């Protein structure tokens, strides 16, 4: 991933608990009645062990810019000359641009921004960058004739415009934060699962794949807590003062804390 790594898996009691939860040993203290409960617990244990790392997301220039750029994308769709508006952010589209073209341009813009920062690319910034691409693709693909081609930029603009409302940006925010946290947890858990592979609960890679799918669903559902929060902030801030990198960064920090608290709460309640 990025040039600045998050480091090796810490040899701490918290991470030992994550590994034990993955292998089943650590779940004996809980009244676990379903696989969903198991995912809740493991996600919460992982967040607990990696909370200091997740806190760094709010200070990472790449993460900050990625979320800010999402706001500018949807706001640009309101402008009759929307492609010129996007051009100010280094995003170039044609009359035949598709969802794939848009997400590729977004990725390029983020890359260029990150390369100009002192910190450069980090694992966190790449998680956010990929989460943004997944969020845009998954939401826009359902409203355009084609993801890769045979499309019209008007279709793309209309689809993007649907995300520029209070409700629409709430959906985009939920999808972005869900994918970001899922990638964050998966990044850490991939090292923990490597340590537990071959145990009764982690007999093969197929189980890990199933667990990862369940984790993504869990994060998507947990991110509902920030859906309305994102929509309300977006609508109010744009109306009252306009959205910039500074106020979107402040919001990002609050949203990450809310989602982290929700995931931890679900783990303790399982």
> Can you give the pLDDT at residue 218?
77
What is the number of other CB atoms lying within 10 angstroms of the CB of residue 90? 15
Contact by Cβ (8 Å): 47, 14 = no
Tens-binned pLDDT, residue by residue, of the chain (270 aa): 344 444 443 444 443 444 455 545 443 443 444 455 666 666 666 666 666 777 788 999 999 999 999 999 999 999 999 999 999 999 999 888 889 999 999 999 999 999 999 989 999 999 999 999 999 999 998 876 555 555 567 888 999 999 999 999 999 999 999 999 888 888 877 665 554 444 544 444 455 566 667 777 778 888 899 999 999 999 999 999 999 999 999 999 999 999 888 877 765 555
> Can you give the pLDDT at residue 151?
55
φ, ψ for residue 119, nearest 5 deg: -75, -35
> Can you give the pLDDT at residue 38?
62
> Can you give the pLDDT at residue 242?
97
Q: Is the pTM of this model over 0.75?
A: yes
> Can you give the pLDDT at residue 140?
93
């Amino acid at each position: 991933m990025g040039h600045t790594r998050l480091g090796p898996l810490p040899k701490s009691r918290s991470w030992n608990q994550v590994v034990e939860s993955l292998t089943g040993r650590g779940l004996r203290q809980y009244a676990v009645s379903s696989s969903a409960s198991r995912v809740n617990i493991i996600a919460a244990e992982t967040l607990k062990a990696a909370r200091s790392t997740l806190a760094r997301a709010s200070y990472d220039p790449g993460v900050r810019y990625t979320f800010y750029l999402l706001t500018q994308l949807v706001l640009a769709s309101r402008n009759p000359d929307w492609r010129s508006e996007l051009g100010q952010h280094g995003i170039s589209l044609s009359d035949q641009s598709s969802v794939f073209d848009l997400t590729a341009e977004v990725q390029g813009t983020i890359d260029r921004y990150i390369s100009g920062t002192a910190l450069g690319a980090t694992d966190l910034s790449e998680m956010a960058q990929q989460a943004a691409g997944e969020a845009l693709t998954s939401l826009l693909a359902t409203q355009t004739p084609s993801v890769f081609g045979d499309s019209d930029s008007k279709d793309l603009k209309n689809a993007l415009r649907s995300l520029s409302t209070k409700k629409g940006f709430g959906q985009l925010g939920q999808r972005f934060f869900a994918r970001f946290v899922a990638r964050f947890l998966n990044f850490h858990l991939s090292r923990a699962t490597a340590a537990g592979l071959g145990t009764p609960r982690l007999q093969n890679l197929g189980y890990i794949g199933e667990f990862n799918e369940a984790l993504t669903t869990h994060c998507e559902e947990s991110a509902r807590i920030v859906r309305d929060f994102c929509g309300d902030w977006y609508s109010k801030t744009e109306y009252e003062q306009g959205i910039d990198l500074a106020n979107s960064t402040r919001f990002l920090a609050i949203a990450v804390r809310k989602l982290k608290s929700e995931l931890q709460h679900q783990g303790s309640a399982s």
